[in-house]
């Protein structure tokens, strides 16, 4: 339905200052712009001030059959927050209240627009830990983390974002607020609607607030970085470490291409011949960490060229800064990349690591990978010069083949970033007709006019 003056009507709900022209940046893009130049123009951008206004905006859009695109911090890697076909972008960045925080009960109720870093700081400053730590915490929002069920390095020990959610408040079609769960930690009444909203990428409702649980912060942490001559020996060492009974908080890896691109930024020199990195973080009591670090060094030593043990907290931070800079260092090699986030059973990691470079070579593109080894989660990168349509086409073919490989190995086309816009169509390949039909039926039941982030997560 054409709407004569969305700006004026929406201003009546959220105030004139909080309705922006649809072309306002950065609301037309997320982090896929950096890599793929994906970009959209909305009919309008609205910034509601509370949950009630979010529901009113949704009701107004639903009535007029205007698509609604929920937007968190815009750090997504799947184009989920991009208004590719117009519609109203609903930005949550003004919903930043901590509604309640009870450190003694390890819990809080926060609004969706609070940044991930703010939630983590709130926990940390009160002796608690909020474990999910996806890589752009100062910008991503807790609502976006829950809407994508984000992971990050510590997901190996602590699980993904949804594990830390005990309740969700959301605006749902045709424009009402619903609360599912709350501060109660256990709840098996009814279908698990809370976890249906977790990871739904804005296609089933707009999350306005979340009840979170925390854990007491571990007393200490320590890291171990082990370097290997090839992925086979590195992946075998990961199996050895996990088989020995160690429970690291994080088990990360990087392959030769990533080490080539980022090795110069490692404060300690990259050991000669290093073609594969395994990076562990261990946490717990001071005694536990001391003991498990020794065990980790022993378990990782088979086949290792060298093992690095940071001497103090400053060296620890430097090591993880290096890890955080690997993605940008890889992009800088040619200026652009198509990147995937497939996941496979952890014992098949080596097949995917080798597969990425083989697929890239077949299509004439430099390729490398890094990721969360303990979860078998591989960020396969196919490098290209931005603006070269032939390279982009080949990179997409590489992505398709990598997804096929992950499915053949019993894995998933997305372990972290979601399907969004850029991976549309892939889910059916993973789930088959019956599974995809159930998925579509849920969408039709909760969003009968298909206006909540249409075209995404399909």
Ligand X SMILES: Cc1cc2nc3c(=O)[nH]c(=O)nc-3n(C[C@H](O)[C@H](O)[C@H](O)COP(=O)(O)OP(=O)(O)OC[C@H]3O[C@@H](n4cnc5c(N)ncnc54)[C@H](O)[C@@H]3O)c2cc1C
Contact residues for ligand X, defined by CB under 6 A? 30-31, 69-77, 80-81, 92, 112, 134-136, 140-141, 143-145, 147-148, 150-152, 201-202, 206-207, 327, 416-417, 420, 453, 456
Nearer to ligand X, 90 or 304 (CB): 90
Beta bridge partners of 250: 281
Phi, psi angle pair for 124, to nearest 5°: -60, -45
User: How much is the CA Rg of the chain, to the nearest whole Å?
Assistant: 22
Given 3-state DSSP classes, what are the helix, strand and coil percentages for the chain, each rounded to the nearest 5?
40, 25, 35
CB of 362 to ligand X, least distance (A): 28
Least distance (Å) between residue 34 CB and ligand X: 8
Closer Cβ to ligand X, 169 or 274, answer by number: 169
How does 221-236 read in b/e, with b if 16+ C-beta sit within 10 Å? bbbbbbbbbbbebbbe
Nearest to 219 by CA among 284, 154, 313: 284
Q: How far apart are CA 423 and CA 418, in angstroms?
A: 8
- Exposure string (b/e) for 174-189, b if CB count within 10 Å is 16 or more? ebebeebbeeeeeeee
Nearest distance, CB of residue 339 and ligand X, angstroms: 10
Q: Which is nearer to ligand X, 84 or 274 (CB)?
A: 84
CB-nearer residue toward ligand X: 27 or 276? 27
By CB atoms closer than 10 A (0-12, 13-18, 19+), residue 104 is exposed
Pick 73 or 162: Cβ nearer ligand X: 73
CA contacts within 13 A on the Cβ side of 432: 3
Nearest distance from residue 457's CB to ligand X, in Å? Answer: 7
* Coil vs helix vs strand at 52: helix
Least distance CB 308 / ligand X (angstroms): 22
Q: Which is nearer to ligand X, 84 or 356 (CB)?
A: 84
Residue with tokens 């909305």: 42
> How far is 359 from 399, CA to CA, in rounded Å?
9
Give min distance, CB of 306 to ligand X, in A. 26
Which residue's CB is nearer to ligand X, number 34 or number 298? 34
> Closest distance between ligand X and the C-beta of residue 311, in Å?
27
Instruction: Encode 313-381 in three state secondary structure.
Output: HHHHHHHHHHHHCHHHHHHHHHCEEEECEEECCHHHHHHHHHHHHHHHHHCCCCEEEEEEHHHCEEEEE
Residue with tokens 């979010």: 54
453 neighbors 200 (Cβ within 8 angstroms): no
Taking the least distance from each CB to ligand X, the nearer of 36 and 304 is 36
User: How buried is residue 445: exposed, middle or buried, by Cβ count under 10 Å (0-12/13-18/19+)?
Assistant: exposed
Contact at 8 Å (CB) between 209 and 116? no
H helix count then E strand count, the chain = 15, 19
By beta carbon distance, the residue nearest ligand X is 144
Q: How far is the CB of 418 from ligand X (least distance, A)?
A: 6
- In whole angstroms, the minimum distance from the beta carbon of 90 to ligand X comes to 8
Nearer to ligand X, 79 or 271 (CB): 79
Q: Residue 298 Cβ, how far from ligand X at the closest point, in Å?
A: 29
Which of 67, 420 has the CB closer to ligand X?
A: 420
- Give the C-alpha separation, 276 to 297, whole Å: 16
- Residue 63 CB coordination number (10 Å): 13
CB 412 within 8 A of CB 429: no
Given a contact cutoff of 8 angstroms between Cβ atoms, the answer to whether 367 and 359 are in contact is yes
Nearer to ligand X, 363 or 424 (CB): 424
Task: Compare residues 299 and 381 and give the one whose CB is closer to ligand X.
Answer: 381
């Amino acid at each position: 339905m054409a709407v004569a003056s969305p700006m004026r009507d929406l201003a009546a709900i959220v105030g004139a200052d909080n309705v922006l022209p649809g072309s306002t940046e950065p609301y037309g893009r997320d982090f896929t712009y950096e890599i793929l130049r994906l970009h959209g123009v909305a009919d309008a951008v609205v910034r509601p001030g509370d949950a009630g206004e979010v529901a009113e905006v949704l009701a107004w859009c639903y009535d007029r059959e205007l698509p609604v695109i929920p937007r968190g911090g815009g750090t997504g890697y799947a184009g989920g927050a991009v208004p590719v076909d117009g519609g109203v972008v609903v930005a949550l960045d003004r919903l930043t209240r901590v509604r309640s925080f009870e450190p003694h009960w390890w819990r809080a109720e926060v609004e969706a627009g609070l940044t991930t870093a703010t939630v983590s700081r709130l926990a940390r400053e009160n002796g608690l830990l909020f474990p999910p730590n996806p890589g752009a915490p100062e910008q991503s929002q807790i609502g976006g983390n829950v809407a994508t069920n984000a992971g990050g390095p510590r997901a190996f020990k602590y699980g993904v974002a949804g594990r830390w959610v005990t309740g969700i408040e959301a605006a749902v079609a045709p424009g009402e607020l619903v609360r599912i769960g709350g501060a109660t930690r256990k709840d098996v009444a009814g279908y698990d609607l809370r976890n249906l909203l977790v990871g739904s990428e804005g296609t089933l409702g707009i999350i306005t607030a979340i009840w979170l649980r925390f854990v007491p912060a571990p007393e200490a942490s320590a890291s171990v970085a082990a370097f290997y001559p090839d992925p086979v020996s590195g992946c075998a060492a990961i199996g050895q470490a996990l088989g020995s009974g160690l429970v690291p908080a994080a088990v990360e890896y990087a392959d030769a291409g990533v080490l080539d691109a980022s090795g110069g930024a490692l404060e300690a020199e990259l050991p000669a011949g290093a073609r594969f990195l395994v990076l562990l973080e261990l946490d717990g009591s001071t005694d536990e960490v001391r003991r498990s670090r020794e065990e980790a060094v022993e378990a990782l030593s088979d086949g290792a060229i060298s093992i690095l043990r940071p001497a103090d907290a400053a060296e620890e931070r430097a090591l993880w800064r290096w890890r955080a800079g690997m993605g940008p260092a890889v992009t800088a090699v040619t200026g652009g990349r198509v990147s995937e986030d497939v996941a496979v059973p952890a014992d098949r990691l080596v097949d995917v690591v080798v597969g990425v470079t083989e697929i890239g070579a077949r299509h004439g593109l430099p390729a490398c990978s890094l990721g969360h080894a303990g979860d078998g989660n591989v960020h396969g990168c196919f490098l290209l010069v931005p603006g070269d349509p032939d390279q982009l086409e080949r990179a997409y073919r590489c992505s398709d083949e990598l997804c096929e490989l992950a499915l053949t190995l019993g894995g998933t086309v997305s372990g972290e970033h979601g399907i969004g816009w850029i991976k549309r169509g892939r889910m059916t390949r993973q789930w088959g007709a019956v599974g995809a039909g159930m998925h579509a039926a849920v969408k039709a039941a909760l969003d009968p006019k298909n206006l909540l982030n249409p075209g995404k997560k399909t």
